[in-house]
Amino acid sequence: MNLDKLEAIDDWSWSAPKAPGETRADVRLYASRDLVLHMDDKVLEQITNVAKLPGLVGAAMTMPDAHWGYGFPIGGVAAFDPDAGGIISAGGVGFDISCGIRCLRTDLTLADIEPVARPLADSLFETIPAGVGEEGDLRLAPRELDAVLRGGARWAVGMGYGEEADLEFIEERGCMADADPQCVSDLAKKRQRGEMGTLGSGNHYLEVQVVERIHDAEAAHAFGLTEGQVVVSIHCGSRGLGHQIGTDFLVSLARGAARLGISLPDRELACAPIRSAEGKQYIGAMNAAMNCALANRQILADLSRRVFRHFFPSASLETLFDVSHNTCKPETHIVNGRPRLLYVHRKGATRAFGPGHPSLPARYRGAGQPVIIGGSMGTGSYVLAGTAESEHRAFSSASHGAGRSMSRNQALKHWRGRELIDALAARGILIRTKSMRGAAEEAPGAYKDVDLVAEATERAGLARRVAFLRPKLCVKG
């Protein structure tokens, strides 16, 4: 990115000056100088367009892992006031609605799993359906799927997938309110019939990781993390249903914008007022997709437990936390000293409530919300904790991952799947995948340096580092 287009606020945040006569809200980029330099100019163009949308409160902003996306940049955050004509945009949520990460802490160590690493990896790969269009054993009739879309992870627990205790450590306790299956098209439901309990493809994964380093001992204690401990991270979303909802509503939201005279700076920012008929319909469908994703991760967590308990019958796998990073959620935030209900778009960004927030489980209220920055399959991931400072800096938002630095097509020119998997195996990282092409597209070198992203996230006051997780086994689509 051309730094001449920006002004440094400090070493970890930047603004974009307005052109003479330009009418828009402020733009804020959170990142180090090096991370900003390596961002595509399209990131600035897209977040500047977001700043022109009606009803925006505060600045349109990007997280340190930001890169080009559809409509909003991935890593984009923007809050809108429904009482001031604020809008909701499918491009501000993303097509994989409620894509997120479920992290499970175990009572196992690296020494425990080393002797069975290969059969454990094989068993996880055989048990967890992964890949483009891959379906699982669970087939749902339309009425059953509607129950999923209303009940989320609570539905999954009720069906025997997992434990009631899981729900306390899932955002919204596992179920989004105001979900309306009637707002979801028959085609979207048809695409989901066989995809519950499946991982998907692309950057989705199930990864067995080891806590290699503790950054904040007090927060790590609250989160139940210690060095050498094994954790399991599951990264996936609402599968075909969420993608179809995104496609369906791009059309209806664009019509809503035209009907109400909203001038779109980019057609990919198709949107409608939150209070409009089109906006309400999208919210009903989006919340249904969020419940689909929460149920999906709940099922996958249960399948993972079953595999681990085959090898370690008495193993404990507790939910550390589950949070989405492609959402728009109604939240109360303090603006100019008073509380306001805002709809916060986070596309490729994670909610990061600070210490004391009333929605947090009692166990984490002193430390802040667990925040997970997922890395690539050959580098590592971070667990962080939300900060009080993030509330006024970014409506309690933080980075969600390393963020791509190279397109999938570019990655294919640099890596071959088989060679990459062999190289990672030589480093003690076992990959199981059905697609050599997919492995090449997700090469670690195609992503930003996760250490730099995590550092910038902390230095910018968005979340503080708690623990670094090194990958050991990874199942990819």
Enclosing domain of residue 90: 3-405+447-476
Helices and strands counted in the chain (H then E): 14, 19
Given CA atoms 357, 359, 365, 370 in this order, what sign does their dihedral have? negative
**Distance, CA of 104 to CA of 301 (rounded, Å):** 8
Q: What is the pLDDT of residue 141?
A: 87
In a domain, 386, yes or no: yes
Backbone angles phi, psi at 64, to 5 degrees: -60, -20
Whichever domain contains 257, its CATH number is 3.90.1860.10
What distance in Å separates the CA atoms of residue 42 and residue 32, rounded to the nearest whole number? 18
Tell me what pLDDT residue 135 has.
78
Q: Considering the domain boundaries, does residue 432 fall inside one?
A: no
* CB-based contact 295:155 (threshold 8 Å): yes
Give me the catalytic one of 333, 357, 400, 414: 400
Tell me, what amino acid is at 415? W
What is the distance between the alpha carbons of residues 191 and 241, in angstroms, rounded to a whole number? 6
Do the Cβ atoms of 42 and 66 come closer than 8 Å? no
Which residue, chain included where needed, has tokens 């689509």? 477
Query: Is residue 442 a part of any domain in this protein?
Result: no
| Structural domain includes residue 55 | yes
Whole-number Cα distances in Å, 171 to 90, 125, 323: 21, 27, 6
How buried is 210 (Cβ within 10 angstroms: 0-12 exposed, 13-18 middle, 19+ buried)?
buried
E strands in 141-243: 205-214, 229-236
Instruction: Give domain status of residue 18, yes or no.
Output: yes
Total domains, the chain? 1
Whether 80 is covered by a domain: the verdict is: yes
d(CA 94, CA 321): 22
Could you say which DSSP state residue 38 is in?
T
Report CA-CA distances (Å) from 213 to 216, 224, 420, 444: 9, 14, 25, 20
pLDDT score, position 356: 97
pTM attached to this predicted model: 0.96
**DSSP symbol at 401:** B
Q: How far is CA 431 from CA 106, 120, 266, 315, in A?
A: 21, 12, 40, 23
- Does residue 395 form part of some domain? yes
Domain presence at residue 115? yes
Pick from 59, 77, 24, 92: which is nearest to 269 by CA? 92
Active site residue 400: yes
284 burial via Cβ count (<10 Å: 0-12, 13-18, 19+): middle
Q: Which of 147, 108, 75 is nearest to 318 (CA)?
A: 108
Cβ atoms 348, 373 nearer than 8 A: no
The closest alpha carbon to 36, from 432, 452, 408, 342, belongs to 452
| Cβ proximity of 104 and 304 under 8 Å | yes
Splitting the chain (477 residues) into consecutive groups of 10 residues, what average pLDDT does each group show? 94 95 95 96 97 97 96 97 97 96 98 98 94 80 94 97 97 97 97 92 94 98 98 96 96 91 92 96 98 98 98 98 97 96 98 97 98 93 98 97 93 94 96 94 94 98 98 93
